[in-house]
Chain A
Amino acid sequence: EVQLVESGGGLVKPGASLKLSCVASGFTFSDYWMSWVRQTPGKTMEWIGDIKYDGSYTNYAPSLKNRFTISRDNAKSTLYLQMSNVRSEDTATYYCTLLGAGYWGQGVMVTVSS
């Protein structure tokens, strides 16, 4: 059974940094592109970006490219999202997804507030 378990969320102050993790199981992690998607409190879905199976290539939503970095550790079957200089509009639930196969994690909430 495919499982994607996110962690690392919480309450952070504007301008701070935060790193989310997603541990994958139930499939060969190193064979798949992985994505991050976020959902705002108003339920709008926004794709953040994705990373190639070997970590050699990433794509990002242009509006987030300068502040968010996606990486992975295939030895640990773990996907990461490094968020820097966070803003109030980054408040959302962040999902780790195996988009091509239709699998989503349970999500982790990030709240940016002073």
Chain B
Amino acid sequence: DVVMTQTPPSLSVAIGQSVSISCKSSQSLVYSDGKTYLHWLLQSSGRSPKRLIYQVSNLDSGVPDRFSGTGSQKDFTLKISRVEAKDLGVYYCAQTTHFPWTFGGGTKLELK
């Protein structure tokens, strides 16, 4: 299975700050069609996960451009600029390139 390693496991942030979350995979996530199926999800407290970014850098509808995703092959980053209170929760990376699909362990974003 592809192991997804997220760091850090938790982050304390002040409103208005910028933060980055790293996600590293044990194998390249480039599929045979040339696309990279690495996604980012946010799970706010008590809610189900919500996808924010798909295929590394594409924002889902309604996701503010304060969020951005970068990376390639095995190394990916989620950046949140000007953090707002509604951004707090647990962020997960997920890959759907190789079966079985796998998830990172999560990064909890909290208020400082």
Contacts and interface: CB of A to CB of B under 8 A. Distances in A.
Interface stretch (A7-15, A21-29, A44-52, A77-85): A44-52
B56 interface: no
Contacts of A53: none
Given A99-B96, A102-B60, A45 B103 contact: yes
Interface residues of B, number: 18
Given A44-B105, A102-B60, A61 B100 contact: yes
B110 to A, nearest CB: 14
Contacts of A102: 39, 50-51, 54, 60
A2 to B, nearest CB: 11
Given A99-B96, A102-B54, A47 B102 contact: yes
Contacts of B39: 102
B92 A45 contact: yes
Interface in A34-59: 35, 43-47, 49, 59
Interface of A: 35, 43-47, 49, 59-62, 95, 99-100, 102-107
A104 B103 CA distance: 15
A107 B100 contact: no
Nearest to B94: A45
B79 to A, nearest CB: 19
Contacts of B90: 43
12 contacts: A44-B105, A45-B92, A45-B103, A47-B101, A47-B103, A59-B99, A59-B100, A60-B100, A102-B54, A104-B48, A104-B49, A107-B48
